């Protein structure tokens, strides 16, 4: 439960940060569907797009002004990401830089902040990789196998493997979660894990290996192999053994920001469906006059509006200092469902033309499907709500 009075928080009922949204939309206009299709064909990273966002200051939204950023709340970062997706672009190449900030800003040392945040704000450094998921544990983070053992000289020796670590090949830094105390020596499953801010520039070829995964969507995901990688003691964030608690802050921020992206996708699909349903004439009338198309589009719109309210609520609680775990999970669940419903409706509205890459519908449809599974699956959210919110027995 949240430790703040949520009744005292002003809950926005509509989109915030109109100036930011307008500026982001103008930037995205320079990156049309052809740009993204070309990247898909080459399985390439949108370097120009990320560079433009960085130079405009949008990727430094959450970094305090003292370190060269804008010092804005999570809702402002959400406005950036939502607008990117609403315009038909995709923020997956850079959104991790925003949600990993929660761990660094709240628990990083002043020396770590001074060393890295100014470079991240200017784009000289990229913090895009989030090394948590493992091939044998998946969503069961507390059972991760990656170990970081302290040496006699105070450094850490890291061994293990991560998977689905997106953008690792395009990142300088990685937020890495590893076990520093064996699970059988811990009172709670979530104890004994630590989080490190790993400089991959020093680590590559010295115990760190990356292998790109050939996937359905172009998210530049990798397998990460850690073989006797020695890292300095000052890479540890906060206290040893408390890493899982630190990561949870990033996870809640991640779920809220992903939910914003889903709302943006839903708005994109609904807009496209409405435009095409008004323009496409079959049997002497616009296809939007047919209830078989009109009603599902209207239903998708209503679902999107309802999900948007929960996303705004989750962001408001997070920005007010609350954990927002319940709200972040529900926001991601409802927004992902709204996005997928809108994607399906748009595909059906366009009919056969939806499969033609020139319209951008099939690309966005593939991208929207991911959020039924990642960064947390729907069933994991149901389990969390059942146990921690409703008081039902633990299901996993």
Summarised one tens digit per residue, pLDDT across range 220-270 is 899 999 999 999 999 999 999 999 999 887 889 999 999 999 999 999 999
Average pLDDT of the chain is 94
pLDDT of residue 44: 94
pLDDT band at 99 (very low <50, low <70, confident <90, very high): confident
pLDDT in the model for residue 214 = 92
Q: Which pLDDT belongs to residue 250?
A: 83
What stretch of H or E contains 146? none
The band of 8, judged by pLDDT with boundaries at 50, 70 and 90, is confident
Range scoring the smallest mean pLDDT among 65-74, 91-100, 338-347: 91-100
CA–CA separation, 158 and 257 (whole Å): 30
Tell me what the mean pLDDT of segment 15-34 comes to.
96
What is the C-alpha separation between 297 and 349, in angstroms, rounded?
Answer: 9
Q: How confident is the model at residue 1 (pLDDT cuts 50, 70, 90)?
A: very low
On whether the CB atoms of residues 192 and 144 are closer than 8 A, the answer is no
Average pLDDT estimate for 120-139: 90
Other C-beta atoms lying within 10 Å of the C-beta of residue 170 = 17
* Residue pLDDT, tens place only, 41-64: 999 999 999 999 999 999 999 999
Place of tokens 């530049």: 220
Interval 102-122 mean pLDDT:
93
Least confident piece of the model among 94-98, 136-140, 196-200, 293-297: 136-140
For the entire predicted model, the pTM comes to 0.94
Which helix (H) or strand (E) segment holds residue 363: the answer is helix 361-369
- Measuring CA to CA, how many Å separate 3 from each of 6, 66, 188, 253, 389? 9, 28, 22, 17, 14
Dihedral of the CA atoms 184, 186, 189, 190 (nearest 10)?
-140
Report the relative pairing of strands 208-212 and 285-286 from DSSP bridges: unpaired
């Amino acid at each position: 439960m949240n430790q703040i009075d949520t009744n005292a928080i002003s809950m926005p009922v509509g989109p915030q940060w109109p100036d930011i949204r307008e500026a982001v939309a103008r930037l995205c206009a320079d990156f049309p569907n052809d740009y993204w299709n070309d990247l898909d064909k080459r399985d390439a990273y949108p370097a120009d797009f990320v560079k433009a966002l960085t130079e405009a200051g949008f990727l430094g939204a959450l970094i305090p002004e003292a370190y060269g950023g804008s010092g804005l709340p999570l809702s402002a970062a959400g406005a950036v990401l939502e607008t990117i997706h609403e315009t038909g672009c995709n923020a997956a190449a850079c959104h991790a830089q925003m949600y990993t900030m929660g761990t660094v800003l709240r628990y990083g040392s002043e020396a770590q902040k001074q060393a890295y945040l100014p470079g991240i704000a200017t784009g000289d450094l990229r913090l895009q990789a989030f090394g948590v998921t493992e091939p044998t544990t998946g969503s069961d983070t507390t059972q991760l196998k990656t170990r970081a053992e302290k040496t006699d000289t105070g450094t850490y020796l890291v061994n293990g493997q991560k998977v689905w670590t997106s953008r690792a090949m395009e990142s300088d830094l990685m937020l890495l979660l590893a076990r520093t105390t064996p699970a059988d020596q811990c009172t709670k499953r979530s104890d004994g894990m630590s989080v490190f801010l790993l400089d991959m520039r020093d680590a590559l070829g010295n115990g760190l290996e990356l292998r790109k995964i050939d996937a359905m969507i172009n998210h530049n995901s990798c397998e990460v192999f850690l073989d006797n990688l020695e890292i300095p003691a000052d890479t540890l964030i906060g206290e040893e053994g408390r890493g899982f608690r630190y990561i949870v802050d990033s996870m809640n921020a991640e779920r809220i920001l992903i939910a914003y992206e889903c709302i943006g996708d839903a708005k994109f699909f609904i807009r496209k469906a409405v435009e095409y349903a008004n323009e496409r004439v079959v049997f002497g009338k616009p296809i939007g006059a047919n209830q078989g198309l009109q009603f599902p589009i209207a239903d998708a719109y209503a679902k999107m509006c309802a999900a948007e309210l929960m996303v705004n609520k989750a962001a408001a609680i997070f920005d007010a200092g609350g954990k927002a775990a319940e709200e972040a999970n529900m926001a991601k669940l409802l927004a992902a469902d709204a996005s997928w419903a809108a994607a399906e409706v748009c595909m059906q509205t366009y009919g056969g033309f939806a499969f033609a890459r020139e319209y951008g519908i099939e690309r966005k449809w593939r991208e929207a499907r991911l959020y039924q599974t990642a960064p947390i699956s729907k069933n994991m959210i149901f389990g969390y709500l059942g146990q921690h919110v409703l008081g039902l027995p633990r299901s996993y």
